[in-house]
């Protein structure tokens, strides 16, 4: 059986569980994880090969040298006694630049999945980030576009953005990652505790500030409404200050970043999942919104914005509601509708799960991915 290396500079981030969910659903190929270092919980029983595992001086030097130069030479050591790779699948174009160097070194094809910010953030903001990886991407992206073999786009929106950003059309493949519809079953109506749930990294594009403004309006008629926010990020202090200023401290709970299994437990308790994403000042936009699929597969109705790839998940007035970006008034109206109409919530939840089963089942989607692998490896 041939081997695919799943590449991410920083492996097993808690906010990127979708990467290992996709990888672990692969059946037709052996797989391993490759990256600079592990910053989350590794997947059991699947090998991983990293530059900096134990924090030794040598390992830290290898990590830094790779980060600054994109050279794949440091990978010679961790990959020395591993089975030969037949293909590398990188996640995010920034990481694709580093994976390209490795793919050329070991002489295998490279597939890169484009997720969102990697094809929406402006060149100015890539440079302003001061991140070696982002700056390397800015100056080496043309090599990736020309020498990378295929680019998987997680939504039609991302495919359009990639085309605008100079990725060759003949190399683009639109492919939804999907979600495990067997593992995540529809919740029972009795599990609904009435909370409004928001799961997101606390950055501008997630629209959390807009959600808080909407909640402030809802509180005027629904004094006991409760919003639970799961996630962490640079805007946390600012958002907490906004909660205080709006006098909704008794209505909002910040849970922080928690393991994915706990997120899914909260999901089953939610009356709705709200993701009012918007285009950030940097150009960053939502590629798809995987948390919307996680809600839908559980039978939880969703409210999103007419933004990025979200309309590819949420069918307005059928599986949830779509509202315009940055419109807290419209968002509050739609949230109130669901708070007050349990029948509509049930219908949206059931319709959402059925849509996921039809179009986003990870087992079906992964078979399509394996076909992409096969075509690249020329089996």
- Among candidate residues 13, 56, 35, the one with its CA nearest the CA of residue 133: 35
Supply the pLDDT for residue 133. 92
> Residue 7: beta bridge partners?
34, 90
Q: Are strands 3-7 and 227-230 parallel, antiparallel or unpaired?
A: unpaired
pLDDT higher than 80, residue 112: yes
Rounded Cα gap, residues 100 and 59, in angstroms: 21
Check residue 206 and report its DSSP letter: G
Supply the pLDDT for residue 303. 98
For 125-177, the pLDDT digits (tens) are: 888 888 999 999 999 999 999 999 999 999 999 999 999 999 999 999 999 99
Cα–Cα distance list, 205 to 25, 246, 332 (Å): 29, 21, 18
Domain boundaries, the chain: 3-178+361-377, 189-359
Supply the pLDDT for residue 82. 86
Topology annotation, domain 189-359: Rossmann fold (3.40.50)
| 120 confidence band (pLDDT: 50, 70, 90) | confident
Is the distance from CB of 163 to CB of 196 less than 8 angstroms? no
Domain 3-178+361-377, CATH among 3.40.50.2000, 3.40.50.720, 3.20.20.20, 3.40.47.10: 3.40.50.2000
pLDDT higher than 80, residue 121: yes
Rounded Cα gap, residues 176 and 364, in angstroms: 10
Supply the pLDDT for residue 279. 95
pLDDT higher than 80, residue 379: no
How many C-beta atoms lie closer than 10 Å to residue 158's C-beta? 29
For 311-340, what is the mean pLDDT?
97
For 302-315, the pLDDT digits (tens) are: 999 999 999 999 99
Supply the pLDDT for residue 174. 97
State the DSSP string of 103-121.
Answer: HHHHT--EEEEE-SHHHHS
Q: What is the mean pLDDT of the chain?
A: 96
Supply the pLDDT for residue 319. 96
For 251-305, the pLDDT digits (tens) are: 999 999 999 999 999 999 999 999 999 999 999 999 999 999 999 999 999 999 9
For 49-105, the pLDDT digits (tens) are: 999 999 999 999 999 999 999 999 999 999 998 889 999 999 999 999 999 999 999
pTM of the model: 0.94
Supply the pLDDT for residue 130. 86
Angle made by CA atoms 268, 269, 274, in degrees to the nearest 5: 85
Rounded Cα gap, residues 215 and 222, in angstroms: 9
Check residue 9 and report its DSSP letter: S
Topology agreement, domain 3-178+361-377 and domain 189-359: yes
């Amino acid at each position: 059986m041939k081997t695919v290396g799943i590449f991410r500079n920083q492996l097993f981030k808690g906010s990127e569980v979708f990467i290992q969910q996709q990888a672990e659903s692969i059946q037709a190929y052996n797989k391993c994880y490759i990256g600079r270092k592990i910053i989350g919980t590794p997947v059991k029983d699947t090998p991983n090969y990293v530059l900096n595992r134990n924090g030794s001086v040598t390992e830290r030097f290898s990590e830094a040298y790779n980060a600054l130069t994109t050279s794949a030479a440091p990978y010679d050591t961790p990959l020395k006694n591993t089975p030969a790779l037949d293909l590398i699948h990188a996640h995010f174009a920034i990481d694709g630049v580093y994976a390209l160097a490795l793919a050329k070194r070991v002489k295998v094809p490279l597939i890169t999945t484009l997720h969102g910010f990697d094809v929406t953030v402006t060149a100015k903001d890539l440079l302003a980030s001061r991140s070696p990886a982002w700056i390397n991407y800015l100056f080496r992206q043309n090599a990736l576009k020309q020498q990378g073999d295929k680019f998987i786009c997680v939504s039609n929106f991302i495919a359009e953005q990639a085309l605008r950003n100079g990725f060759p059309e003949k190399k683009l493949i639109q492919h939804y990652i999907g979600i495990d519809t067997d593992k995540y079953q529809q919740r029972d109506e009795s599990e609904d505790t009435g909370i409004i749930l928001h799961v997101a990294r606390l950055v501008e594009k997630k629209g959390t500030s807009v959600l808080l403004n909407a909640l402030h309006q809802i509180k005027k008629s629904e004094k006991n409404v409760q919003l639970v926010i799961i996630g962490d990020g640079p805007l946390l202090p600012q958002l907490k200050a906004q909660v205080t200023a709006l006098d909704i401290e008794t209505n909002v709970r910040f849970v922080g970043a928690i393991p994915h299994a706990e997120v899914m437990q909260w999901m089953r308790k939610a009356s709705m999942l709200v993701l009012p994403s918007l285009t950030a000042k940097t150009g960053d936009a939502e590629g798809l919104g995987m948390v919307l699929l996680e809600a839908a597969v559980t039978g939880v109705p969703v409210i999103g914005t007419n933004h990025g790839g979200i309309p590819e998940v949420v069918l307005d007035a059928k599986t949830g509601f779509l509202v315009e970006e940055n419109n807290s008034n419209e968002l509050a109206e739609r949230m109130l509708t669901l708070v007050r109409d349990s029948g509509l919530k049930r219908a949206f939840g059931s319709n959402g799960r059925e849509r996921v089963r039809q179009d986003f089942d990870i087992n079906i989607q992964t078979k399509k991915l394996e076909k992409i692998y096969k075509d690249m490896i020329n089996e």
